[in-house]
């Protein structure tokens, strides 16, 4: 067996892509190992979304180069993902130890690229957006999966938010056909998945060809997966407020398997900044949307992404974001300092926000979001909720699962329930997780 190590940076779509690359290379004799030290092939599946994420790749490559030299070159180094797409030629120029560069839309070509460098030596670079469908060229997902699995249904983005590299690195919006997704969902379920998270950079912009030849939206896809597979849990991420249709909101009301948790990034609470960001919606649009979602599914918990310090953001704009956060009340959220990305319109703006202001705003925002997250966790104490048990905990017999709201839940004497959903009473709230107890019936099954 040849040893393969894949290091994944960034979003869940990269996690999905890394799994698919491992499956693609398995027939060539590659089996996964836990570290690069002995690997014959190392793939860095990279993220370009913020400068820090991209810089990490170069420092990791320095480390790998030294490892490769110590082994007299017996290691193939590949860079995949969005940094490969955006900076492929630069990577080859800066780091000669790299053998392969492959973008997110061309990784199905890895086997022929590996064969080419084995035959001819030198480097191989594929960063085209090929005409053939990557998903058609990939082997059927066959590897064992955990109880919670990802399934990419949509890729790319046509929205061109001012700050974002995704439309350039992942290309135009593309939705997979419904039948292909259903077949993959069934395979994942056969291999142990009890929860599937449908993935897309703009997942609710999904418009795939249905079995009837018509275009289906995400709502129909969700209903079909739920009805025809009987999966216990469904989620989707990441959605854009502009694509949150009434039909999709209705699916939250009607589909029991669809978890009451929605990641709905707003980025900013200021109309001026939302416009500068080219988000295509106002603060009020977002607040009305939240109302409609909550009316359809009153127990839904909300999450969001925020950027502070986008060009032109004033203290007053930032205060609008803080006010929106207080008004909505989030169960969880991700917040970032604006990072200028080469080639995006915001990076060219003359009025950038000073680093100190960005730091102060991020601190203030994160303190409020942390407070809200804690308040939400505390509101779960004493409640009974379904937990999908995913893996053993640190203590013997303990299992760790996820609540419907994605919180980790630790439960004693529950190892036999891994891979199943069971009712749990939340006994205590820890800083980043919940502690639960099995209800009598579940405990009796011991």
| Window 37 to 96, contacts with ligand SAM (CB under 6 A) | 49-50
Full 3-state SS string of 274-293: HHHCCCCCCHHHHHHHHHHH
Q: Does residue number 166 form part of the binding site for ligand SF4 (CB under 6 A)?
A: yes
Could you tell which of ligand SF4, ligand SAM, none binds residue 361, using a CB distance below 5 to 8 A set by kind?
none
Which of 163, 236, 330, 405 forms a contact with ligand SAM (CB under 6 A)? Answer: 163
Stretch near ligand SF4 under the rule CB under 6 A, chosen from 1-9, 162-170, 358-366, 370-378: 162-170
For residue 290, which of 327, 317, 235, 237 has the smallest C-alpha distance?
327
Nearer to ligand SAM, 107 or 163 (CB): 163
Binding segment for ligand SF4 (CB under 6 A), chosen from 26-34, 113-121, 158-166, 403-411, is 158-166
Among 39, 80, 157, 353, binds ligand SF4 (CB under 6 A): 157
Name 66's Cβ contacts closer than 8 Å, sequence gap at least 6: none
Contacts of 356 (CB under 8 A, 6+ apart): none
CA distance linking residue 387 with residue 404, whole number of Å:
7
DSSP class of residue 267 equals: B
Q: Which of 265, 269, 311, 404 binds ligand SAM (CB under 6 A)?
A: 265
49's contact among ligand SAM, ligand SF4, none, with CB below 5 to 8 A by partner kind, is ligand SAM
The binder of 50, among ligand SF4, ligand SAM, none, by C-beta within 5 to 8 A per type, is: ligand SAM
Per-residue interface string for the shown chain with ligand SAM, residues 306-345, x marking contact by CB under 6 A: -x----------------------------x-xx-x----
What x-and-dash track marks residues 3-32 binding ligand SAM by CB under 6 A? --------x---------------------
> Which lies closer to ligand SF4 via its Cβ, residue 42 or residue 277?
277
Structure tokens at 196: 């599937």
* Cβ–Cβ under 8 Å, residues 24 and 60: no
Stretch that binds ligand SAM, among 161-169, 323-331, 365-373, 403-411 (CB under 6 A): 161-169
Q: How many CB atoms lie within 10 A of CB 65?
A: 16
Report, in Å, the least distance between residue 336 CB and ligand SAM: 4
Among 240, 312, 358, 402, indicate the residue that binds ligand SAM (CB under 6 A). 240
Angle at CA of residue 275, ends 274 and 281, nearest 5°: 65
Cβ atoms of 261 and 407 closer than 8 Å = no
Answer whether 203's CB lies under 8 Å from 219's CB.
no
Contact 42, 30 (CB under 8 A): no
44, 17 in Cβ contact below 8 A? no
Q: Choose the stretch contacting ligand SAM; rule: CB under 6 A; options: 35-43, 162-170, 251-259, 397-405.
A: 162-170
Which structure tokens are listed for 144? Answer: 């064992």
Find the farthest-apart pair of alpha carbons in the chain and give their distance in angstroms, rounded.
Answer: 66
Examine residue 166 and tell whether it contacts ligand SAM (CB under 6 A). yes
Q: How far is residue 214's CA from residue 208's CA, in Å, rounded to a whole number? A: 8
Q: What is the C-alpha separation between 94 and 117, in angstroms, rounded?
A: 19
One residue of 42, 54, 102, 164 binding ligand SAM per CB under 6 A:
164
Tokens standing for residue 204: 């609710």
Instruction: Summarize as ranges the residues that interact with ligand SAM (CB under 6 A).
Output: 11, 49-50, 163-164, 166, 201-202, 238, 240, 265, 267, 305, 307, 336, 338-339, 341
Interaction site with ligand SF4 (CB under 6 A): 157, 159-161, 164, 166-167, 201-202, 240
């Amino acid at each position: 067996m040849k040893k393969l190590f894949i290091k994944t940076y960034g979003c869940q779509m990269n996690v999905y892509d890394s799994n698919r690359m491992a499956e693609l290379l398995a027939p060539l004799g590659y089996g996964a190992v836990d570290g690069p030290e002995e690997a014959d092939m190392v793939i860095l599946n990279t993220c370009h979304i913020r400068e820090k994420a991209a810089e990490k790749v170069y420092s990791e490559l320095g480390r790998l180069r030294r490892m490769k030299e110590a082994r007299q070159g017996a290691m193939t180094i590949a860079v995949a993902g969005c940094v490969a797409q955006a900076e492929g030629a630069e990577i080859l120029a800066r780091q000669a130890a790299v053998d392969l560069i492959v973008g997110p839309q061309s990784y199905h070509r890895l086997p022929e690229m590996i064969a080419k460098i084995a035959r001819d030596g030198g480097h191989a670079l594929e960063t085209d957006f090929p005409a053939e469908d990557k998903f058609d060229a990939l082997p059927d997902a066959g590897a064992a999966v955990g109880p919670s699995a990802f399934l990419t249904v949509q890729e790319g983005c046509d929205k061109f938010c001012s700050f974002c590299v995704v439309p350039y690195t992942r290309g135009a919006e593309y939705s997979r056909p419904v039948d292909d997704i259903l077949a993959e969902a069934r395979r994942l379920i056969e291999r142990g998945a009890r929860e599937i998270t449908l993935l897309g950079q703009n997942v609710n912009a999904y418009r795939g060809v249905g079995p009837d030849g018509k275009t289906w939206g995400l709502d129909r896809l969700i209903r079909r997966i739920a009805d025809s597979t009987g999966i216990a849990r469904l989620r989707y991420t990441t959605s854009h407020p502009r694509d949150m249709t009434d039909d999709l909101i209705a699916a939250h009301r009607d589909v029991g398997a669809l978890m009451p948790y929605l990641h709905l990034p707003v980025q900013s609470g200021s109309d001026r900044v939302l416009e500068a960001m080219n988000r295509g919606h106002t603060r009020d649009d977002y607040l009305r949307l939240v109302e409609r979602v909550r009316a359809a599914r009153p127990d839904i918990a909300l999450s969001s992404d925020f950027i502070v310090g986008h060009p032109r953001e004033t203290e007053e704009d930032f205060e609008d974001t803080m006010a929106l956060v207080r008004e909505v009340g989030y169960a969880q959220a991700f917040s970032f300092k604006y990072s200028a990305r080469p080639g995006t319109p915001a990076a060219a703006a003359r009025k950038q926000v000073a680093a100190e202001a960005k730091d102060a705003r991020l601190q203030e925002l994160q303190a409020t979001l942390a407070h809200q997250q804690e308040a939400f966790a505390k509101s779960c104490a004493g409640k009974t909720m379904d937990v999908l048990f995913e893996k053993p905990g640190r203590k013997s017999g303990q299992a760790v699962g996820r609540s419907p709201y994605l919180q980790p839940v630790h439960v004693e004497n529950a190892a036999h329930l891994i891979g199943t959903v069971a009712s749990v009473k939340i006994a205590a709230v820890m800083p980043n997780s919940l502690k639960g107890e099995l209800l009598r019936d579940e405990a009796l099954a011991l």
